[in-house]
Structure 1
Amino acid sequence: MDNYFDLHFHPLAKMHLASNKDDPSNKAKDDMEKPITMSKDFRDYTDESVLRRFESQCCVDYLEEGKVKLGIAAVGALEFGVASSKGFIADVLKTQLKKPIDNTYFNAVREGEVSYLKLFLKEVMRYMELRKLDKDQKSTKESKLNLISRFSKNEEELDARPNLILAIEGGHNLCMKKIGNTLDYDDFKEFQNNPYFNSIDGISKDKHNPSKVLKRLYESLKGAKIDLLYLSLTHLTYIPEQHLGTHAFGAKGLKHPSFYPFGHGLSEVGKDVVLTAYGLEDSIEKKKDTGVLIDVKNLSLKSREDLYALRRVKDCSHIPLIASNVGVTGYSLNGWKDNLEVEKCVNHVDQGIKTVKVHNKPKVAGYWGNDIKKKFTFNSCTINLMDEDIVEIAKSDGLIGVSLDVDILGHNSNSTNNESACEFLTTSDFSYYFPYTSIRKLEYASMEEIRTEESWFQPNRRDVHPLSLCFNIIHIMAVIGLKTKQNQLKKKPQKFICIGSNFDGFIEPVKFCSDSRYFGDLQACLMKWLPVAAKKYQKVNGGTKDLFSFIQKNDYLKEVVSGILYNNGHDFLKSRGFLASEKIEKKVDIES
């Protein structure tokens, strides 16, 4: 293929953390497009699996090398829980060696010196610095990247450099309060000389209202010809100064009380943010209901159900949903409930935070191998999609980005392994989904057990087989093909799928595509293993014979793979008005 698409990555995130000192002589500020550097001493000191998390990059140079021509750059301020956590990041920051990241950012977050909104704007400024414009606001030869938007009619072809649209990762980025403080608001005087962001300081009367902050932010970015594709309402932690909704537990590499979920679905403030995002005008044509999309990633199961209910009540179901970097549970909601392993569930109180530790039997995706058959299972934790989520996204004509994080995709093991998946639910969510299981009758986790859990927060290297990724893709296709009425869809099941790598998000990447330079290897994996996954999946899970017709038709397989790796994302952005010109991009075929 000539080019690739990625629905969710962080091209500047790690270098932004590495160069956060205010010292203007800091050379790293002039090399934002490059990968972070790690000294030999640091490499020798650090665990291999930690190094893999640092090396899973998608910096601008890597995007160019890997021909990732089009993608969504997620921007999100580092949360207090992450900066203050135990785990691999904390261990790195404690070392006395020359580290790839700088303490300045982390200290500012831990000490509550700054707001999440200010941190968000500072990272956006990094993108503006790399997108150099002339007096007519056209990209110059010195530009390292191209930011495309719906706010100007671009009649040129996509730039040879990476073409990016921004997204907001986490509603906490709309918070003007200083981190960890419910009363003290940040000031934005340092942006007063910026023609685009000087209005941010003028919303003091709206400080308590994230919906109005979103609207003002959107208008400011519009003036800078910067666009937003989607907003993730929650991220990894509970944000007490601005609670928009319950998040799904998804941080087994870090430990802090805020990682445990809190609440019971979307808050009223969160619902207002959703409706505000949907009501923003998208372009010079002033069309409504097409502004900023909502990403369901990191929302708890109850929060996602609340979102779908709100969309139906407010007649917003036609607006596309995004699932930016996900895997699948393999279950319908009832199937997930039926496979709860009640005898393993316990009440869990850690540092005063009460949750229920839930164990669920993973769904088998398929078996593969001759002498020793390996069982492949999906990751049944609720940070991943239920079948109902997949149907909702497809009916909305949305887009699903399949993650390249091994913690998301599921596992492969000997078929005798019956290990269950565990996560944490709020007590209210547990009672809601399992009303006939008394929380009072569940035992309490002992302090010894809670201390033992800290072993989770030590990264473990796992080489996930390419079939694990392919089984996730196949299940999405199967659910859309079998559980959605075809007259409700505008396109074939495979057209709703792309890659959402989450590179530079401190993930444990799949071995066969460890950073953005290796999308070509990912292409080869899909061509080889997608038909195998389809056959093995059907043996266990059934399905009609014509469900995966690409198994027998090589040309059709090429079309499916080219769609997943580029065309589906390109076509989605074109349908949203980001790629207005027919000259922008031609469909590409995979070479035989």
Structure 2
Amino acid sequence: MFDFHFHPLGKQFLSNYDVEELKNDTYSHPVQLPPLGATLNDLLSRILNSQASVSQSIKGGVSLGIANVITPEYVFASKRGVLKLLELDLFDRDVIAPLDNRIFDFIRNDENYNFLFERELNFYGWASGYPNKTNSLIKILTRKGGANNRLKMDSKKLNLVMAIEGGHNLIAESINDPFPKGTILDKVKEYRDKDYGYDFLYLTLTHLSHVPRASLCSHAFGFKLVKASKVTEAVPSIPGLSRKGKKVIRELMDCSSNDYPILIDIKHMSLKSRFDFYKERKDLLNDETFKSKEKEGNAWWPIIATHMGISGYRFSEMTDLFGEIGFEKGLEFSVRIRFDRHRKMKIPEGLGIDNVYFNPMTINLCDDDIEEIAQSNGLIGISLDARILGFENFNKRHNDEEYDYMSKDDFALLFPEEAKKIIPLNEIPVEVSEEEGFLGIAGRKERELYLYCFTLLHTARVIDQLDKKERHNKSGWDFISIGSDFDGLIDSLKEAETIEDLNDFRKEVRKVIVDAEESYKDAYDLPKELEIIPRKSGKPQVDLILDKVFSQNGINFVKEWWGES
């Protein structure tokens, strides 16, 4: 098994500010929820329980995973943030979740993010040598140090490569310091040049909020657990990719000074930021002063998207989905969008009308993004977060209260004609269409399972429509992997609640993906004879594609990019 994006020590780290107290045999265990937290876990979208601790990852058969380190932003730690709600103590005992208040006090007091980032990073370093290098449960792979065995996977351990989720993690002074001595660029250079026993596969430029000192690009709105008007920092406010962001991208990828480039993960970037990034990448590849990594004598800079859902449409179709656009009171720096969901994909089980829809929010990939990634010989990790994929529960099937937000500048640049029509939202009559007919009775398990299969099928089909040379003579199935985002506060799928469930989840996918292919073709009016799943002597090669998605593609990508065969 391979996971493109998860947090195996994340929940343990958040449970104790004094990391020294975590350094014992229990570091690898799932965190234990207090009784009330265990009861509330399902009501809180199952974000509380451990989903991918080290022991769970090993039991789940993960041989290689990309361990992401992230310091919670202020928007999480503020009095309005969701983690603040979970900090509740009673007589110095956690009531809902085992979160250490001292971590969030540290963030609220404007201390620097990088301090906590490096503290968690060093926790991983400690774990890789506990109780000693030979008998440790994990191995951290690195290109540095000159010894090949540092890059070679150990079949008896959980092999990890480190990654950074969010540019704010590189701020090494107080976030409100008016005269900072260092810059994010300084940290990028440090992490590329020095050998700390680990290096980084990728940096996700932004996360779920606007952090002024780390404004590398505008972010896509994704903070859905608290109302946007309560946490204005979570609403996008700046235009596209900034000059600072362009400098950081160059510093991450230019191989003039060293051979350890750090890839850019486009997850959490706004739609405009992603389009700006594609242009910047092409400009740099045509810049004689920029040196890229090479493959077979040609420049190679793969675009990666590590824990994604898809929208199911092209950018050019987006305005057809606008159900409502306007300025929300108090958030006039952004445009609020309610998307209609047009493309119905029927679940071929149960009675009545049971349709599912991709999540059209701009945090997800449109078809244009998928094509850019394939053309760059990159890789897509499909998230196991039900909200990202598009799952709607029985009582909320019409998306009438779920909104996307885009910075005013981004919206005007992407949709100049639509921007002229925007007025305050209270002047716009809103009509929400409802699905006619008897709603079906398929449960959450079936809805999520088919939605996941539809996501795989759509991604593969979009890529296979490209010319063979554009997709490097590869199948669309060669560009897809798992990017679970386990322990990243996700609402995990019912059939893949933790990383231990991945093998069983694969079996469930295997059972339904051929039926899902037929339903998907009906939804997109595709020819019946079209083979999205490859056939051999008329038989669908399901195991072939699932081997790629669940394991081979990700492992091969990391080995190829880092030069290990």
State whether TM-score is above 0.5.
yes
Partner residue in 1 for 2:346: 367
Query: 1:281–1:36: structure 2 CA closer, same or farther, 3 Å change rule?
Result: farther
Residue aligning to 2:166: 170
Distance in 1 of aligned mates of 2:419 and 2:548: 47
Residues 140-539 of structure 1: pairs in structure 2 closer than 5 A: 140-151=133-144, 152-154=147-149, 158-179=154-175, 181-183=176-178, 185=180, 204=181, 207=182, 209-220=183-194, 223-254=195-226, 255-280=230-255, 287=259, 291-315=261-285, 318-341=300-323, 344-350=324-330, 354-364=333-343, 366-368=345-347, 369=349, 371-411=351-391, 418-419=398-399, 422-438=403-419, 441-445=422-426, 464-482=447-465, 484-490=466-472, 491-539=474-522
> Which residue identity is paired with 2:232?
P
> 1:198 matched to which residue of 2?
none
Residue aligned with 1:348, SS: coil
Give the Cα–Cα distance (whole angstroms) in 2 for the partners of residues 415 and 116 of structure 1: 39
- Secondary structure (helix, strand or coil) at the match of 2:489 reads coil
Q: Residue type of the partner of 1:106?
A: F
Distance 1:415 1:91 in 2: 25
Q: In 2, distance between residues paired with 1:327 and 1:80?
A: 25
1:27 to partner: Cα distance:
5.4
Correspondence for 2:547 among 557, 562, 570:
562
- Residue 394 of structure 1 aligns to which amino acid in structure 2? A
Answer whether contact 2:209 2:233 (CA < 8 A) is retained.
Answer: yes
Q: C-alpha offsets along residues 25-77 of structure 1, whole Å, 9 cap, x if unaligned?
A: x3576532111112224434x35333721125211010111111111001111
Tell me the residue number matched to 2:57.
Answer: 63
The match for 1:125 is 122
Q: For the structure 1 residues 124 and 270, does the alpha-carbon distance in structure 2 shift closer, same or farther, using more than 3 Å as the test?
A: same
Partner residue in 2 for 1:8: 5
Structure 2 equivalent of residue 192 of structure 1:
none
| SS of structure 1 residue aligned to 2:43 | helix
State the superposition RMSD in angstroms: 2.7
Question: Aligned match of 1:541 in 524, 530, 540?
Answer: 524
Partner Cα separation in structure 2 for residue 497 and residue 275 of structure 1: 26
Residue 197 of structure 2 aligns with an amino acid whose one-letter code is: K
Residue 247 of structure 1: SS of its match in structure 2?
coil
Q: What residue is the counterpart of 2:69 in the other structure? A: 75
CA displacement, residues 124-165 of structure 1 (integer Å, 9 cap, x when unaligned): 10011011189xxxx723312001122231285524110000
Inter-partner Cα distance in structure 2 for 1:172 and 1:445: 35
Q: Which deviations, in whole Å up to 9, do the C-alpha atoms of 1:187-219 show, x marking residues without a partner?
A: xxxxxxxxxxxxxxxxx4xx1x32232011222
CA gap 1:156/1:410 in 2 versus in 1, 3 angstroms: closer
Does residue 574 (structure 1) correspond to residue 559 (structure 2)? The answer is yes
Q: Could you tell me whether the CA contact under 8 Å between 1:56 and 1:508 is conserved in 2?
A: no
| TM-score (normalizing by structure 1) | 0.83
Whichever residue aligns with residue 202 of structure 2, its letter is Y
2:224 and 2:322 map into 1 onto residues whose CA distance is 20
The answer to whether the aligner puts 1:31 opposite 2:47 as a matched pair is no
- Per the TM alignment, residue 319 of structure 1 is displaced from its structure 2 partner at its CA by 0.4
Instruction: Report what 1:188 is aligned to.
Output: none
For the 8 Å contact 1:295–1:324, the answer to whether it is kept is yes
Amino acid at match of 1:320: P
Partner Cα separation in structure 2 for residue 378 and residue 237 of structure 1: 24
Give me the whole-angstrom Cα distance separating, in 1, the residues matched to 2:390 and 2:45.
21
What secondary structure sits across from 1:19 in the alignment?
coil
Please report how far the alpha carbon of residue 353 of structure 1 lies from its aligned counterpart in structure 2 after TM superposition: 5.8
The alpha-carbon distance between structure 1 residues 105 and 445, as it changes in their structure 2 partners (threshold 3 A), is farther
C-alpha spacing 1:556/1:31, structure 2 compared with 1 (3 Å): same
Tell me the distance in 1 between the aligned counterparts of 2:133 and 2:421.
65
Partner residue in 1 for 2:80:
86
Distance 1:52 1:414, change over 3 A: closer
Structure 1 residue identity aligned to 2:60: G
Q: In 2, Cα distance between the equivalents of 1:240 and 1:83?
A: 16
The answer to whether the 8 A contact 1:364-1:375 is kept is no
Whether the 8 Å contact between 1:174 and 1:210 is mirrored in structure 2 is yes
* Unmatched tracts of structure 1, length 5 or more: 186-203, 450-460, 582-592
Q: Contact conserved, 2:308 with 2:381, CA < 8 A, in 1? A: yes
Q: Which residue identity is paired with 1:214?
A: V
Q: Distance in 1 between matches of 2:152 and 2:168?
A: 36
Q: Which has the higher contact order (CA 8 A, sep 6+)?
A: 1
Work out the CA distance in 2 between the residues paired with 1:85 and 1:304: 31
Aligned to 2:439: none
- Could you say if the C-alpha distance between residues 291 and 564 of structure 1 is closer, same or farther in structure 2, counting changes exceeding 3 Å? same
Q: Percent identity?
A: 28
Gap change, CA 1:383 and 1:76, over 3 Å in 2: same
Cα distance in 2 for partners of 1:430, 1:407 equals: 24
Aligned length: 523
What is the Cα deviation at residue 232 of structure 1? 0.5
TM-score relative to the length of structure 2:
0.86
1:233 positional shift: 0.5
Amino acid of the residue matched to residue 174 of structure 2? K
Query: Quick check: 1:478–1:543 contact (8 Å CA) kept in 2?
Result: no
* CA distance 1:214–1:417, change in 2 (3 Å): closer
How big is each residue's C-alpha offset from its partner over 1:63-103, in whole Å with a ceiling of 9 and x where there is no partner?
11111111100111110111115354222213425241111
The whole-number CA distance in structure 2 between the counterparts of 1:469 and 1:11 is 23
Instruction: Call closer, same or farther: CA 1:439–1:157 in 2, change over 3 Å.
Output: closer
